[in-house]
Amino acid sequence: MDSLRKLFEPKSIALVGVSRHPEKMSHWLIRNVVRAGFDGSVYPIARGEEEILGYRAYAGLEQLPGPVDLVLVSVASKEVKRVIQEASGIKASVAVILSSGFGEVADERGKALQEEILGIARRSGMRVVGPNCLGVYNGHKNLNGTFLAEPPAHKGKISLISQSGAFMGVLVNEMNSREVGLGKFVSIGNQTDLRHQEIIEYFGNDEDTSVIGLFIEEVKDGRGFLSVVERVSKVKPIVIFKAGRTTAGRRATLTHTGSMAGDFAVAQAAFKQAGALTADTTEDFFDSLFALAYNHDRLPKDDRVGIVTISGGPSVVATDFCGEVGLRVPELRPETQEKIRGYVPFFSAVSNPVDMTVGIPLSNLGPCVDALMSAPDISGAIALNWGWDVTEFAEAFVQARNRYGKPIVAFASENPKVQKILHKNGILNFPAPERAVKAYRGLVEYERVKGKRVSRRAFNSKPSRRIGEIESGKHSILNEYISKEILSEYGVPTCKEWLVQRVADLAEKAEEIGYPVVLKVVHPGLLHKSESGGVVLNVGSEADLVKAAKGLEEKFSQGVLFLVQEYVKPGIEVIIGLRRDENYGPIIAFGLGGIFTELLRDISLRVCPLSWEDAHEMIQEIKGGALLKGYRGTPPADHDALAEVLLRVSELAVLNDRISEIDINPFILRGPDVKAVDALIALSSCEQA
């Protein structure tokens, strides 16, 4: 953390490779440092110069008269190694390498150089930000160590991390034009050393930060990242905008910051699970950050919102959009409507949206808005006004907001006085009705994140005995019988079954299970039993059983093993899967069987270990979830039983590193009776795990 304090609150800065020529970007760097009014020591390093912008220039870092906290490096990529050596030599705390031409380049030399530089820094304990970045900014300490063309105009408590410099620039520009204040930011470029999670942790403890925003191309050490997000998101909202959603997008992150964007669906699910809010577009990201900065201490207690306006069309649009993003615009109770009706012209709308119309007497604006905001019908409001620039409108909302503590966001267009009063009083204005609605939804979401409970449950709590018996050192796909034995160890219910070697022994086991039974062949390397004719369903008698077994022997080979299984009555078929993501560890997947997962990709994902609440969310969030409520006579699925199975599979994966994959398909739900009918577990070799 000390290095991060030196990064954001240095006492002395050396700027390596700055120019005295105002048209060069390396001049902007020192110009920005100087203009921001940095009050520590500033050392320009530039050969052949006496001074730059009033500061004495030095030929090299070794010539400096005092210690250096922060070194900003803006030289050609081939010079960077030498500069880092010098910086390490003088025991600088942090070097920010703004230069490009490293891991983002297609050939391997850039990556190698980057690694070499990192090695040098590590040996001296110096931290490195970048390379290929925009620099570091801290408005509260007058630090602007960036290439920004225009400095951030307003101080605030939004702090930001972005690999991309340009994206950060776009955001700063937007904050300037919408008069939103910035706290700190750092662009970490190729993030060769300093990573998102360290900075999030720092921001979590930073008094000048109340909201954290991240534009991410690649997360390094996914699990470490998630654990920090999980902790910090409980106290400060974290909004994440992740790049690399599509194949073309991943090609773009690779050539941009050398980032391996990874599986987007996994990352997005993991972020949400850890408590981050996720944005889908640049504007969503900005709006969500801004709304949270203004309202993080005044979140709506639920999703019921009032739409209140003097502009009918935009209010219709906002109302529609609430429906699309899952906010309720409840019809107001008769008593609330009656109260409002007392203040508005007869042609006004009072049911919600409340359209007061411009016909409302100015002196009624305050009481009318108060009547709505005080009502228990709604937990916050969206105020809309096109073109009626009367101060009474703005004041009505400011007063009601202060009185009832319910959040308000606004869409105010073409009314400078209204906008100014709202803004001054912390009611944020958005550029379109839908933008205000979506930003409000972010407030509701963060309230949920804060309130979300995490109940952990342990069942077995020790590594699998059965896996321990399997020869280590090689990768293997376990057969159905062994896979289910392992699942059973962790309490996952499986169908009754026996592994039988001799045809002659089948009947006894079938009798024990009860007819009809299912007969399956177990054969090394035979993964798709059904497709290759290795399964006989609905075997009703001993005679049929023997006949079926002989048929299978003929088809496959003498000496195959048989699996004789209870016939599980039809129910809702689901799939439970697991694979090990190299960044986020074991990822559990849940979906409905067949076309839902295979064609519609309707799958919910979570990082293990799951909480009880995560398991329930997984079940609820699939699109075909309605099917779990029962359909055409199938009894509804027992959500608790299913959630417990997900937790048990999660525990199995967490306690057994060798498991690389689990595929339970189908898992059949028939009311409270739930069973794994077919399953497969793959183990990696011990060396891999």
Contact flag: residue 151 with a copy of itself (CB under 8 A): no
In the structure encoding, which two tokens stand for residue 309, read together?
């306006």
Interface of this chain with a copy of itself, residues 19 to 48, rule: CB under 8 A: 25
Interface of this chain with a copy of itself, residues 183 to 242, rule: CB under 8 A: 215, 217
In this structure, are residues 278 and 123 in contact, taking their beta carbons and an 8 Å threshold? no
In this structure, are residues 637 and 669 in contact, taking their beta carbons and an 8 Å threshold? yes
Checking 609-613 for CB contacts under 8 A at 24+ apart, the result is: 609/456, 609/650, 609/651, 609/654, 610/646, 610/647, 610/650, 611/453, 611/454, 611/455, 611/456, 612/455, 612/456, 612/457, 612/643, 612/647, 613/452, 613/453, 613/454, 613/455
**E strands in 582-643:** 585-592, 603-607
Of 305 and 608, which CB lies nearer to a copy of itself in the complex structure?
Answer: 305
187: enclosing H helix or E strand: strand 182-187
In the structure encoding, which two tokens stand for residue 190, read together?
């190729």
In this structure, are residues 105 and 112 in contact, taking their beta carbons and an 8 Å threshold? no
Q: Is the dihedral of CA 411, 314, 296, 135 positive or negative?
A: negative
- Choose, by CB under 8 A, the member of 37, 125, 359, 361 that binds a copy of itself: 359
Interface of this chain with a copy of itself, residues 534 to 553, rule: CB under 8 A: none
Residues 6+ apart with CB under 8 A from 45: 14, 15, 16, 17, 18, 57, 58, 59, 60, 61
| Distances, alpha carbon 575 to alpha carbons 4, 321, 605, 619, 629, in Å | 45, 34, 12, 11, 16
Provide, rounded to whole angstroms, the least separation between the CB of residue 241 and a copy of itself: 8
Applying CB under 8 A, the span of 51-59, 353-361, 515-523, 640-648 interacting with a copy of itself comes to 353-361
Residues 6+ apart with CB under 8 A from 260: 218, 250, 253, 254
Residue 477 has a CB neighbour count (10 Å cut-off) of 16
- Choose, by CB under 8 A, the member of 139, 262, 314, 591 that binds a copy of itself: 314
- Upper half-sphere CA count for residue 245 (Cβ side, 13 Å): 10
Provide, rounded to whole angstroms, the least separation between the CB of residue 57 and a copy of itself: 24
Applying CB under 8 A, the span of 421-429, 548-556, 590-598, 681-689 interacting with a copy of itself comes to 590-598
Of 352 and 464, which CB lies nearer to a copy of itself in the complex structure?
Answer: 352
Applying CB under 8 A, the span of 156-164, 288-296, 365-373, 515-523 interacting with a copy of itself comes to 156-164
- Choose, by CB under 8 A, the member of 135, 169, 442, 577 that binds a copy of itself: 169
Applying CB under 8 A, the span of 194-202, 490-498, 558-566, 596-604 interacting with a copy of itself comes to 596-604
Interface of this chain with a copy of itself, residues 607 to 666, rule: CB under 8 A: 623-624, 626-627, 631-632
Interface of this chain with a copy of itself, residues 398 to 457, rule: CB under 8 A: 413-414, 431-435
Of 146 and 565, which CB lies nearer to a copy of itself in the complex structure?
Answer: 146
Provide, rounded to whole angstroms, the least separation between the CB of residue 347 and a copy of itself: 4
Provide, rounded to whole angstroms, the least separation between the CB of residue 118 and a copy of itself: 18
Interface of this chain with a copy of itself, residues 257 to 286, rule: CB under 8 A: 257, 281-283
- Choose, by CB under 8 A, the member of 10, 17, 110, 139 that binds a copy of itself: 110
Work out the burial of residue 281: count CB atoms within 10 Å of its CB; fewer than 13 is exposed, 13-18 middle, 19 or more buried. exposed
- Choose, by CB under 8 A, the member of 39, 331, 508, 512 that binds a copy of itself: 331
Provide, rounded to whole angstroms, the least separation between the CB of residue 278 and a copy of itself: 13
Provide, rounded to whole angstroms, the least separation between the CB of residue 256 and a copy of itself: 4
Applying CB under 8 A, the span of 53-61, 200-208, 304-312, 457-465 interacting with a copy of itself comes to 304-312
Contact flag: residue 569 with a copy of itself (CB under 8 A): no
Provide, rounded to whole angstroms, the least separation between the CB of residue 304 and a copy of itself: 11
Provide, rounded to whole angstroms, the least separation between the CB of residue 149 and a copy of itself: 5
CA 636-641-646 angle, to 5 degrees, is: 115
Interface of this chain with a copy of itself, residues 48 to 107, rule: CB under 8 A: 77, 100-102, 104-105
- Choose, by CB under 8 A, the member of 142, 173, 391, 684 that binds a copy of itself: 173
Residues 6+ apart with CB under 8 A from 257: 103, 104, 132, 163, 164, 189, 190, 191, 217, 218
- Choose, by CB under 8 A, the member of 15, 61, 90, 168 that binds a copy of itself: 168
Cα–Cα distance, 354 to 306 (Å, whole number): 8
DSSP category for residue 333: P
Helix 108-124 vs helix 77-89: crossing angle, to nearest 10: 10
Provide, rounded to whole angstroms, the least separation between the CB of residue 169 and a copy of itself: 5
Residue type, 191: Q
Question: Residue 276's Cα: distance from chain center in Å?
Answer: 5
- Choose, by CB under 8 A, the member of 595, 620, 636, 688 that binds a copy of itself: 595
Provide, rounded to whole angstroms, the least separation between the CB of residue 53 and a copy of itself: 21
Interface of this chain with a copy of itself, residues 130 to 149, rule: CB under 8 A: 132, 148-149
Provide, rounded to whole angstroms, the least separation between the CB of residue 314 and a copy of itself: 6
In this structure, are residues 553 and 560 in contact, taking their beta carbons and an 8 Å threshold? yes
Contact flag: residue 320 with a copy of itself (CB under 8 A): yes
| Distances, alpha carbon 571 to alpha carbons 574, 639, 675, in Å | 9, 14, 10
Interface of this chain with a copy of itself, residues 238 to 257, rule: CB under 8 A: 243-249, 251-253, 255-257
Q: In this structure, what is the dihedral angle of CA atoms 344, 346, 350, 351, given to the nearest 10 degrees?
A: 170
In the block, residue with structure tokens 């700027």? 15
Interface of this chain with a copy of itself, residues 379 to 408, rule: CB under 8 A: 386-387, 389
Helix (H, G, I), strand (E, B) or coil at 239: strand
Contact flag: residue 346 with a copy of itself (CB under 8 A): yes
Residue type, 173: N
Provide, rounded to whole angstroms, the least separation between the CB of residue 327 and a copy of itself: 9
Provide, rounded to whole angstroms, the least separation between the CB of residue 583 and a copy of itself: 19
| Distances, alpha carbon 21 to alpha carbons 38, 46, 134, 287, in Å | 21, 12, 19, 37
Provide, rounded to whole angstroms, the least separation between the CB of residue 138 and a copy of itself: 20
Interface of this chain with a copy of itself, residues 472 to 531, rule: CB under 8 A: none
Contact flag: residue 367 with a copy of itself (CB under 8 A): no
* Number of chain positions touching a copy of itself (CB under 8 A): 90
